[in-house]
Amino acid sequence: MKVLVVGATGYLGSRIAVESARRGHKVTALVSEGSQSKKADIVQRLRDTGIETATGHLESKQEILVKLLTDVNIVVSAVNGPGLLLQLNLVEAAKKAANPTLQFLPSEFSAFGAVGEEAAPLLYGPKAQVRRALQASHIRYTFIVAYGLAPYWANGLGELGTRGRVPPAPRGLDKVPYYGSGHTRFCVNTVEDVVKYTVRALGCSYVVNKQLHIRPRLNQVSQHDLIHIYEDKLFRQQGIGQRLVRAPVSEADLDAQITGAADDIKRTQLQLQKSFIFMGTLTPLGIHDYEATALYPDDHHYTPIARYMNNLIYECKAHLAEE
Ligand SMILES: NC(=O)c1ccc[n+]([C@@H]2O[C@H](COP(=O)([O-])OP(=O)(O)OC[C@H]3O[C@@H](n4cnc5c(N)ncnc54)[C@H](OP(=O)(O)O)[C@@H]3O)[C@@H](O)[C@H]2O)c1
């Protein structure tokens, strides 16, 4: 199949582009002129994998986007920030391309779809607008509900943080914010699994006009579970027996933090925290939903989050050795 990836120089988009090419799709990456020089190493890696690049972005002239969408079977977007709302230009172009077989995967890859846009309006609002535009058109779409990506959620032991942060070391000093009862369950997936299931869904007729949830059974965990897994592994693998200090954060505390947030990014981060930990993201699946490990049981064996956390033990050990 011919696949256009928008946002192919990004964290998720570059991986989706490479995995699509690895699975035999003919991939074109839409790359802005600026990124061709600023992100030359990533662009070169894409080209080395056999991916073609087309120059442009979501604000390019409609003719350019229409031409690209006429020539492909699938468009996957993994843009972020202001690019999320600009995807409406891509939807307009897809309407004009009138390509009856086109499958459109907008940039989702979050818990949106399992929770509503009010959970984090600045992030989910634009995603919701793009969804509505697609649903009101005749374009075939698939929405990927990916829940939390492990480097953002598991590394913070259930506290959303910067990608790939080093988890706290149990020295009796470092505190983990411990939200509410700690027992609300959410879902955390490795980036590799999100990429593999997304690419598996390309060209799959089952998921046309559906949501594909990536919600493996063993990845449905609570903050209590994540901390417990971490402490248990530290003890069994490294003989470190101290427990982490839990600093309780109530829902009212978190609400106050949201109200006093310094900027929109921080506010959104705290709102996502609230939706995962206090509201819970594991809402029941509807008739327009599929779950990836159930739909593709033999295609890919996902990494349970407990196994992903082995990496965190090595990082913690290295961190302690440096001190
Ligand atoms: N569930 C989770 O835990 C989680 C975590 C992280 C992200 N996500 C979601 O995953 C998606 C992708 O995020 P990411 O972190 O991978 O993004 P990212 O690394 O910031 O990359 C964004 C990509 O979009 C491109 N882009 C931005 N604006 C554009 C425009 N106007 N026209 C064309 N391309 C544009 C960027 O191109 P340039 O190189 O030119 O800037 C870049 O390639 C988002 O929907 C985000 O919400 C989810």
Q: Is 126 in the pocket of ligand 1 (CB under 6 A)?
A: no
172 and 203 belong to one structural domain: no
CB of 11 closer than 6 A to ligand 1?
A: yes
Q: Where are the alpha helices (DSSP H) in the chain?
A: 11-22, 33-38, 40-48, 62-70, 83-97, 121-135, 150-153, 191-200, 223-238, 251-259, 264-274, 292-295, 305-322
Same-domain status, 13 and 80: yes
Q: Look at the chain and report how many structural domains it folds into.
A: 2
Residues 153 and 70 grouped into a single domain: no
59 and 117 together in one domain:
yes
Q: What would the pLDDT profile of 122-152 be if each residue is shown by its tens digit?
A: 999 999 999 999 999 999 999 999 999 999 9
Residue 142 CB-density burial (10 A; 0-12 exposed, 13-18 middle, 19+ buried):
buried
Distances (CA, A) of 86 to 77, 89, 295: 11, 6, 31
Residue 207 belongs to a domain = yes
| % of the chain at pLDDT higher than 70 | 98
**Are residues 54 and 141 both part of a single domain?**
yes
292 found inside a domain: no
Indicate whether residue 131 lines ligand 1 (CB < 6 A).
no
- Centre of ligand 1 to C-alpha 182, Å, is 30
Q: Which domain holds residue 174?
A: 149-188+218-283+300-322
Count Cβ neighbours within 10 Å for each residue of 29-64 and write b for 16 or more, e otherwise.
Answer: bbbbeebeeebeebbeebeebebebbebbbebeeee
Helices (H), 214-250: 223-238
Nearest ligand 1 atom, CA 32: 40
Same domain, 94 and 197: yes
Query: Which atom of ligand 1 has the smallest separation from the CA of 107?
Result: 45
- Ligand 1 geometric centre to CA of 108 (Å): 10
Residue 295 domain-assigned (yes or no): no
Residue ending a domain, choose from 179, 199, 215 = 215
**Residue 291 belongs to some domain of the structure:** no
Asked if residue 207 and residue 157 are part of one domain, the reply reads no
Q: How confident is the model at residue 183 (pLDDT cuts 50, 70, 90)?
A: very high
Return the number of other C-beta atoms located less than 10 Å from residue 296's C-beta.
19
CA atoms within 13 A on the CB side of 44: 5
Q: What is the CATH number of the domain that holds 258?
A: 3.90.25.10
Note whether residue 210 is domain-resident: yes
Task: Kindly give the distance from the C-alpha atom of residue 144 to the centroid of ligand 1, in angstroms, as a whole number.
Answer: 14
| Residue from 39, 80, 147 whose mutation best tests the ligand 1 pocket (most atoms within 8 A of CB) | 80
Task: Evaluate whether residue 289 is within a structural domain.
Answer: no
Could you tell me which residues come within 8 angstroms of residue 247 by beta carbon, excluding any fewer than 6 positions away? 175, 176, 177, 178
183 plus 201 within the same structural domain: no
CA distance 288 to 277: 25
Kindly report, residue by residue over 255-302, the tens digit of the pLDDT.
999 999 999 999 999 999 999 999 889 999 999 899 999 999 988 899
User: Which CATH number goes with the domain that contains 60?
Assistant: 3.40.50.720
> Residue 34: inside a domain, yes or no?
yes
pLDDT of residue 199: 98
Residues 240 and 119 occupy one common structural domain: no
Q: Specify if 293 maps to a domain.
A: no
Phi-psi sector, 180: left (phi>0), alpha (psi -120 to 50), beta: left
Tell me: do 224 and 205 sit in the same domain.
Answer: no
pLDDT of residue 236: 85
Q: Is residue 83 in contact with ligand 1, taking CB distance under 6 Å?
A: yes
**Does ligand 1 have an atom closer than 6 angstroms to the CB of 285?**
no
Same domain, 155 and 265: yes
Categorize the per-residue pLDDT at 173 as very low, low, confident or very high, splitting at 50, 70 and 90. low
| Residues 277 and 315 placed together within one structural domain of the fold | yes
The distance of Cα 279 from the centroid of its chain, to the nearest Å, equals 19
Q: Which of 180, 215, 250 is the last residue of a domain?
A: 215
